[in-house]
Structure 1
Amino acid sequence: MKARLVLALAVLGLVGGVASGCGAEDTTPAPATQKALAAVAVDDLGITPSSYGLAPDWYHPGPLKVELRWHPGGSHDTHRLALDARPDQDPPGCPPRSAPGHCEYVEAGTATAVLRWEEEAPEEDPGFVSLDWWRKGERHTASYSGEQITGDPRTQKNLPVSVDDLLHLLADKRFGTTSTRAMVDADLAKWPKDTSEGDMVPATAATVARRVQDAGAATPRSGAPADVSMWGAGAVGVVLEYPGRELTVVQVPVSAPRRPQFLAAWHTSNLRDDPAVEVGWKTGAAKAIWRDEAGGVWVVASVRDARITRDPRPRWVRPGRPGHDVQAIAGWHSSFSTYELTAEASQTPSWFRD
């Protein structure tokens, strides 16, 4: 089967240098690139991407994340496959049963593999399937969305890529932080000529301000860099001013000399749909702390507002109410990382002042 896929891809010009009548594939080890991961997926799965995303809107700390998009039988990129490979000393696991969606361990030989999926929300979201594969300190991830997920994806017959396909892809020796020269040099049709938008640079107060804006916080009267001296080197943040309230968002490296935490005066709990986010309030203030140890970053969002005299969360859903902006940040915490994109995400909002 694989030989037929390789031959077909070579004829269509989708992958150059993978199969050739002049010789075997060059299996010399080489540091992986985004294109290498994409090439392995095209080779293994037989899909024909119509476009690629080098800076997809989902979070992982590594530089290899890439998204393949295609539209079988249609004119829109309705099918997406997000890929990533990165060092990670902690094997994946399933969240508490109270978390949304489904999660199960799947058989993967000597590796650890965790399957997650969420079923469709009619007329809103088709759902997704995600597989994490971990072995010897390296994690590989593949997430598919497009076809409506109606139940356990292992038994759903109409998916263009099955769970077994994803497992085969992530276990491929060419998929990882090290690939092969053939995959690195592959000639992928429609691969973008300008790949600079996927480059990563250290975060600044301006990029944090942009991510706050993208996360859905209300437009402030003004914004400026926050005082992050208490967190030490590498911390960046922004202070946003609103009528009657102040919002501060800070990114803190896990190597910081002190850890973000709630003191005894705070009333705290975890977000129901994401136990990694702790929220709290006290008179005049509300706060959310998202801890991502593997990603190397904490995000702390806090709002000061004299109107906060009790738990503001029941009112977070309405813009302009106390704590709404903290909910926006907590709900979109995956927009943050120690690094940001050089293109869109680094554009400074008009309201921000250095």
Structure 2
Amino acid sequence: MRAGRSWRLATGLAAVVVAVVVAVLIVGGRSEDRADPEGGDVPTTPRSLAFVVSEHVDLEPTRAGVDWAADNYRRLFPHPKRAVAASTNFAGDGNIVVVGVSPEREKVGPSCDDGFCADLGDGVRLAWDELAPEEDPGLVVVVAELDTHTVVLRYSGPAITGDPRDLDLPIPVDTMVDIVTDPRVAPTTSQEAVDSGEEIDFWLDGNPVV
């Protein structure tokens, strides 16, 4: 990882291949109200995060859970116990995402000293590390600092050879932005998201996702 990414290095995520989130309840289907989701006042769970993320990603989730990688993402925030995180692999081992949600801001925000970042507007920032041949495929991070909470999403697996907005990624940047700005990806969510999260069938309790 580059020195400019101290906000991730401090959490030990630089050496982690991580993953986020998870599952489709209706086989072959997506929620019809995905385009206009509504949040709620029910406490968010890792499983509910997994359900919501799976609605956005047009790949098959293979396994999901709360592992040491997701726990590291909770530690991005001043009080980790107030944060919720989940991790998952999509379409085998090649598309790995992790999402953390907290009512607090990150301990250290991303540095743009090396130019590998962009302000997408409305409190959303994009940052990335590029491919290091034979060492690291690179990664993409999207951060949303919203009125009531912060969401941090990390995507790794595919080779990042430039600005991820210009790459044909299996999980596009637009999809990542949709995830971090979904009102159900927050400290509280809808009862439907929580109930649906409880029904996902490949959540790995007590087992590592990676």
Matching of residue 55 in structure 1 with residue 67 in structure 2? yes
Structure 2 counterparts to residues 262-341 of structure 1, below 5 A: none
Once residues 183 and 39 of structure 2 are traced to their aligned partners in structure 1, the CA distance between those partners, rounded to angstroms, is 10
Cα distance change of structure 1 residues 89 and 142 upon mapping to structure 2, 3 Å threshold: closer
Identity in percent: 26
Once residues 27 and 105 of structure 1 are traced to their aligned partners in structure 2, the CA distance between those partners, rounded to angstroms, is 25
Q: Structure 1 residue 93: deviation in Å?
A: 4.3
1:35 is matched by which residue type in structure 2?
R
2:56 partner SS: helix
Structure 2 counterparts to residues 103-118 of structure 1, below 5 A: 103-108=117-122, 112-118=123-129
Question: 2:152 corresponds to which residue?
Answer: 141
Gaps of 5+ in 2: 1-23
Question: 2:10 corresponds to which residue?
Answer: none
Question: 2:131 corresponds to which residue?
Answer: 120
The structure in which a higher percent of residues are strand is: 1
TM-score (norm 1): 0.44
Q: Structure 1 residue 77: deviation in Å?
A: 1.5
Per-residue deviation, residues 183-216 of structure 1 (Å, max 9, x unmatched)? 1111213112x35x79xxxxxxxxxxxxxxxxxx
2:192 is matched by which residue type in structure 1?
A
Q: Structure 1 residue 26: deviation in Å?
A: 9.4
Q: Is the 8 A contact 2:100 2:152 kept in 1?
A: yes
Number of matched pairs:
172
Q: Structure 1 residue 166: deviation in Å?
A: 0.8
Cα distance change of structure 1 residues 181 and 97 upon mapping to structure 2, 3 Å threshold: same
1:36 partner SS: helix
Matching of residue 177 in structure 1 with residue 197 in structure 2? no
Q: Structure 1 residue 94: deviation in Å?
A: 3.7
Matching of residue 102 in structure 1 with residue 102 in structure 2? no
Higher relative contact order (CA 8 A, sep 6+): 2
Bigger Rg, which one: 1
> Structure 2 residue aligned with 1:46, among 45, 48, 58?
58
TM-score (norm 2): 0.71
2:125 is matched by which residue type in structure 1?
V
Q: Structure 1 residue 126: deviation in Å?
A: 0.8
Q: Is the 8 A contact 1:39 1:188 kept in 2?
A: yes
1:65 partner SS: strand
What is the RMSD computed on CA atoms of the aligned residues? Answer: 2.9
Once residues 54 and 74 of structure 2 are traced to their aligned partners in structure 1, the CA distance between those partners, rounded to angstroms, is 22
> Structure 1 residue aligned with 2:94, among 78, 84, 93?
78
